[in-house]
Amino acid sequence: MPELVTGRWGVETGSAGAAGIPVVVSIIDDHPDLCYGVLARLPQENSSFAGGVMAATVPEFLALDAEAARRSDVVLLDLNLKDESSPPDNVATLKDAGYPVVIYTGEERPERLQGTLGTGADALVRKDEADCLEAALTAVVSGDHGWVSPLMASVVLAAPGPRLSPAQVEVLRLYATGVPAQRIASLQGCALETVKTHLKAVKIRYEAHGDAVFTRTDLLRVAIRDRHVGQDWYLLDSETSETSDGSG
């Protein structure tokens, strides 16, 4: 696959949305054809938008945008980048730098999509509903920091369980399938107390949601129900089977 050619589309300087000045939309994605397509299509469909920076990673975007004639107003961010960076870390970095962030992803796994709700992104849109992108961007620049597309809502908001962070989901997945807390700490590269804190938070959230989760079996039940763990976890998770005889 060819390397992403990064750069900037020409835009006017000024205040976004004021006196007809377009909103500069940038994209962080390692698929060049998609980047070019999005940044070319938006201004054609709505003159309120202008294409900005194209980058394959967050650090690359920050460097390019710092050199641009005009700072980006909104950033489209793919969840799965080739540098294997953490989506929550990417969102946090961009938000700390003052950029509104719209998750624009082809991700289909419900557990990954559910995890986006805790990252602080301003909007969530799937790539296969590109016709919603204009509405998402309009909402974000108008001050809406919780816009979710219809398809994303059907996958994410309709989930029966409580909202968990990605770290909490991973601890739940491992612990519910039999991995001891100390082993989880080792796998995650964190302290045992951190694992216990995540487990406590998971239990509190489920109990607040109306689920009784007093035992590991209770946690496995809700984890399977909420699709954090597959029905055939005992066949697929060799890591769990190897450590399931330990104690939590």
Q: What is the pLDDT of residues 120-149, one digit of tens each?
A: 888 888 898 888 999 999 999 888 888 888
Amino acid at 68: A
Considering the chain, what percentage of its residues have pLDDT values greater than 70? Answer: 79
Query: Rounded to whole angstroms, how far apart are CA atoms 67 and 195?
Result: 42
DSSP 34-79: HHHHHHHHHHHH-TTEEEEEEESSHHHHHHHHHHSSS--SEEEE-S
Both structure tokens of 146: 């919780």
Amino acid at 40: A
Query: Rounded to whole angstroms, how far apart are CA atoms 82 and 57?
Result: 8
**Could you tell me if 127 and 37 are in contact, meaning their C-beta atoms sit under 8 angstroms apart?**
no
Both structure tokens of 129: 């509903």
Digit-coded pLDDT (tens) for 53-93: 999 999 999 999 999 989 999 999 998 898 999 888 999 99
Regarding beta strands 7-8 and 74-77, do their DSSP bridges make them parallel or antiparallel, or are they unpaired? unpaired
Query: Rounded to whole angstroms, how far apart are CA atoms 138 and 170?
Result: 34
pLDDT at 27 over 90: yes
Torsion of CA 161, 79, 34, 6, to 10 degrees: 160
pTM comes to 0.59
Question: Residue 235 is inside which H or E element, if any?
Answer: helix 233-236
Residue-level pLDDT at 1: 29
> To which residue do tokens 């998971």 refer?
202
Closest by CA position to 145, among listed 133, 137, 156, 155:
137
